[in-house]
Amino acid sequence: MGNLISVDYRKNIYGNRVNMYILVNTTFNNKDDICSLLEDYAKHLGALYSLQWLNYGRFWFFKLVNVDLNRAVSVMMKYENKLNKIMLYNSHLYPILRDKFPKIAIELLDEEQCLFRGIHDYVSSKGTTFILKTPTLESKTDNGAIISEANLQYPFILVRLDAGVSFYKIDENNVVKCLGYSPIGTDAIAALFEIFDRNSQVNNISNVNINEIMEFAKIGANAKCDILVSDIYGGSYDEVSLPDDLIASSLGKLQHFSFKRVGSAEDNKMTEIMQSNVDSSVDSMSKRTQDSKDFQLSDKGSSEDGYSVSSVNSNDIRSSLPLQTSEFAKLRPSKEDFAKSLALMLAINVSQHAFLHTTLCDAKCIVMIGEIFENEFYRETMDYWVKFWSQKSVECLFVRQPSIVGLVGACLIGN
């Protein structure tokens, strides 16, 4: 079989971050051979790396963070005489490595083909595939590895959340069907956060990645950015089962947001606009409820068993609103608040689309893959919303070590 490596290269065009992932499949049984390669990378490139031993026995993985590509390839060339084949699914790397390694077979593969092969192999590995957020469903082996007790059910919906979002159906015969795609993924979230931060006058940061944004989101309050049901109705809207903290409009409170100091002319103008919007919304709701006061919301059409919408006085609504616009003008959302709103916006959209696909495909399981799910907060968030839409009828699983899956698939295809 010889020695084979698969390489992936990711560049964040917004933060100028370059990550390189290398999976080594070698006939050498001596771990020191691999460790020496890692040490060379760390020494010459000043890069971070992680070494993970997989159950496959001869696979070793490491990740280089913020590396210079040319220097990384130069260090790799030191091991040219030990390599038989290089597997790639990143077209940017292909011409570079082809020129640097003319004597080595370099194969450019389809990224999704590698991903599906890797996931299929992961599924075949008993108990080592998925990680769940629920501690009671997890146990640890002697070496600390988490073993999930989840039972994967076919067919399942595979959700790949990366720069965009892709949805696939995978059946028990490993037949893959593409179901759809959304261009709103982690890159869109990172770009929006960068725009917000650049325009903020407090604690500007730069070059953040999606996991750092999720850490901000963990302590944020999205109510400063999002319009909630309580902002419209003064509380929950029980007649149609809308809780008071349900998001009615993501980022809705920022449509007239000013980054200027409180009390400035721009700030006063924003307050006037927001007060006008509140008055308009209140009057509209008052008229709607008055016109529909006799409308019964019961499934059975019975006034005794159902709910009716009573008339509401607009002045009562105004007085019951918990957040006056003059107060809101002083509540500037922080980067943590904005990050929380972005995190929820993405989770709500992805989880709802995934659940709808389970309904169409008669599936009871959703498998999600993406580096964003290495963040525990976001796994919990996505898991909550899948349960919300499905009323706990669909299980949500997350692929462990997402950076490895495609590389494993590439090595398996290469062998």
112-121, 134-143, 246-255, 290-299: which range is least confident on average?
Answer: 134-143
What 198-201 contacts at long range (C-beta under 8 Å, 24+ apart), as own/partner pairs, is 199/259, 200/259, 200/335, 201/259
What is the per-residue pLDDT for 91? Answer: 76
Same-domain check for residues 160 and 209: yes
What is the count of structural domains for the chain?
3
What is the per-residue pLDDT for 211? Answer: 87
Same-domain check for residues 143 and 217: yes
Residue 364 lies in a domain: yes
Identify the three-state secondary structure at position 384: helix
What is the per-residue pLDDT for 129? Answer: 47
Same-domain check for residues 322 and 384: no
Residue 354 lies in a domain: yes
Q: What is the pTM of this model?
A: 0.72
Residue 235 lies in a domain: no
Pick the last residue of a domain from 331, 352, 385.
331
Same-domain check for residues 209 and 342: yes
What is the per-residue pLDDT for 261? Answer: 46
Could you tell me what percent of the chain has a pLDDT over 70?
A: 59
Single out the residue of 23, 8, 163 nearest to residue 94, CA to CA.
Answer: 8
Higher-pLDDT residue of 114 and 10 is 114
Residue 244 lies in a domain: no
User: Going by C-beta distance under 8 Å and a sequence separation of 6 or more, which residues neighbour residue 405?
Assistant: 115, 118, 119, 122, 369, 399
The dihedral sign for the CA sequence 35, 40, 42, 45:
negative
Same-domain check for residues 30 and 104: yes
67-81, 92-106, 135-149, 344-358: which range is least confident on average?
Answer: 135-149
What is the rounded average pLDDT for all residues in the chain? Answer: 73
Confidence of residue 137 (pLDDT cuts 50, 70, 90): very low
The CATH number of residue 53's host domain is 3.30.420
Confidence of residue 159 (pLDDT cuts 50, 70, 90): very high
**Quick check: 1 pLDDT over 50?**
no
83-87, 169-173, 312-316, 405-409: which range is least confident on average?
Answer: 312-316
Average pLDDT over residues 116-134: 60
Report the C-alpha gap between 339 and 362 in whole angstroms: 34
Same-domain check for residues 184 and 287: no
What is the per-residue pLDDT for 135? Answer: 38
Higher-pLDDT residue of 323 and 111 is 111
9-13, 28-32, 120-124, 158-162: which range is least confident on average?
Answer: 28-32
Query: 92: domain range?
Result: 4-129+405-414
Same-domain check for residues 20 and 66: yes
